[in-house]
Amino acid sequence: MQRLLFLLLFLSVPVALAQSPGEINFYDHIAPIIHKNCTPCHQPDKSAPFSLITYEDVSKRARFIRKVTQSRYMPPFPADRSFQSYLNERSLTVGEIATIQLWIEGGMKEGTKKKELIEEINFQAYETRPDLVLKMQKPYLITGDNTEDFRFFSLPTNLSQDQYITSIEFAAGNKKLVHHSRLMVDTTNQIRGIDGLAETDPKVAEFQRIALKEEFLYGWVPGNDRIYFPQGTGVKLNAHSDFILNMHYAPSPVRSSDQSEIRLYFARDKVEREVKNFTLRENDISNKPFIIKAGEKPTFYISKKIDKTVSLVSVLPHMHLIGKRFRAFVITPAGEVINLVKIDNWDFNWQMTYQFRKLLKVPAGSTFIVEATYDNSAENPENPFGPPRDITYGWGTNDEMLNLVLYYLDYQEGDE
C-alpha cells in the first residue's frame, strides 16, 4: 500500500515524471521548494527556531520535515483559502510534498551546487537590507520573577527628512520571552527618554494623553513576520519622529535580557498614496460584556459601519489562548458580501497579517462583521486554567482579546 501511494504521488509530480527517486537531489529539486516556502522564516534572526538554508541544514532534519509537511503542519497558514485568497499564502502542493518524500527515500542526494543557489544561501536572492534599523538603546533586564512584564521604550529615528515605509519588520531579541510588541510613532518628541518604563508607572498615563501620529503602525505577535505595502504606497514617517515600542514579556523563572529591533524599508520611487490603518476591538463588541465564563464556549460579535470608501490591503486577526474560531467579512449597502478572513482552528502561535491578492474595495456605508468563538472548557488543551475560571479582557497571556487590524488606502477608481 505504501509503495502504491508513493507511485501515485510520484506520477503526480512533474519533476518526478522525468526523474527516478534516486535521481532527485537537493540542489535541483529540494532547495527551490525549501527556499520558497520555508527559508523566509527559517533563517537567522527570523521567527523560526532553526535555519533551513543549506544542504546540511535540511538533510539533518529531513525526517522531521517529511513528517510536518505530510501532516501539513508546515508551512503554517491558518486561514481558509477557499474563503479568501492571499498574496502571502504559504502551502506545498501534493507534488512538492511527494518530491520531499522521494528525495528522502532515495538517500537524500546532494547534487551539484550552482552559483545562483549560493547567492540565495547568502540571502541576497530573497532578502534586502533594511534602510534603517532601530535597536533598543540597551538590553532590558528580565528579572525572572515569573510575572508578565509590560514595558515602553523610545527609539528616536533621527531622520533628517520625511520617508515612506514600504515594508516593516520586528526582530525579537529574545524569541522565548517576547510575547508581543506594538509599534507606535510620536512626532512631538515629548516622550523621548523612556527606557523600560513600566505600564504601571504613573508617567504612562501622562504620555498617553499626547496625540500620536500612529497609535498602531505595526504589531508583532507569534507567527507574524515582515509585512509589505503595495507598490507606489507607503506609511509616511516624518523627519525627527520617534518610535514608541510597547513590549510584553512572558513570565520566566530565569533572569534574562532582551534587545529587540525594528527594521524599516523605505520607498525608492515616488509614493503616490499613503497607507492607513484602523482596528476593530473589544469596545466595538455588540453583545457585551466581554466575559468568557468558565466552562462556556461563547461567540462574540462586532458590527461596525464605515462612512467612506476604502481599499483594503490586509487584515491581522488577534485572540489569545482560548480563541477557537475567527471569521470576518463585510456587507455592502447593496447587500454584497466581501470575505476577509476565516480561521476554523485558531492557533495562538501562528498569527499572521493576511495581504489580499488585490485591493478589496469596501464602499461607504458598508458594515464590517467579526465573529469570534472561544472555548473556556476543561476539554480545551490550550486553556491556561485548570479548572477553568472566568476570563475577560486584558493584555496578559491568560487574559483574552478580540482585534482585527486593517491596513487600507483611500479608494481610487480602478483599485479593485
Banded pLDDT at 39 (limits 50, 70, 90): confident
So what's the pLDDT on residue 2? 43
Reply yes or no on whether the pLDDT at 344 is more than 50.
Answer: yes
pLDDT at 199 over 90: no
Distance separating alpha carbons of residues 364 and 307, to the nearest angstrom: 5
pLDDT, position 134: 96
Q: What residue ranges define each of the domains in the chain, with the CATH number in brackets?
A: 2-121 (no CATH), 132-273 (2.60.120), 276-410 (2.60.120.230)
| Across 302-308, average pLDDT | 97
Grid coordinates given for 64: 522531521
Residue type present at position 228: Y
- pLDDT value, residue 46: 72
Cβ atoms < 10 Å from Cβ of 216: 18
**Secondary structure (3-state) at 115:** helix
The mean per-residue pLDDT over the stretch 89-103 comes to 89
Given a cut of 90, whether residue 42 has pLDDT beyond it is no
Query: Mind listing the pLDDT tens digit for each residue in 109-168?
Result: 988 886 555 555 444 344 578 999 999 999 999 998 999 999 999 999 999 999 999 999
CA of 88: how far to CAs of 140, 303, 358, in Å?
33, 27, 11
Question: What percentage of the chain's residues is helix, strand, coil (to nearest 5)?
Answer: 15, 35, 50
Rounded Cα–Cα distance for residues 98 and 96 (Å): 5
Name the pTM for this structure: 0.84
Lowest mean pLDDT among 155-164, 170-179, 309-318: 170-179
Quickly list DSSP for 218-272.
EEE-TT---EE--TTEEEEE-TT-EEEEEEEE---SS-EEE--EEEEEE-SS---
Question: What is the C-alpha separation between 380 and 401, in angstroms, rounded?
Answer: 17
Lowest mean pLDDT, pick from 5-19, 209-223, 237-251, 270-284: 5-19
pLDDT band at 21 (very low <50, low <70, confident <90, very high): low
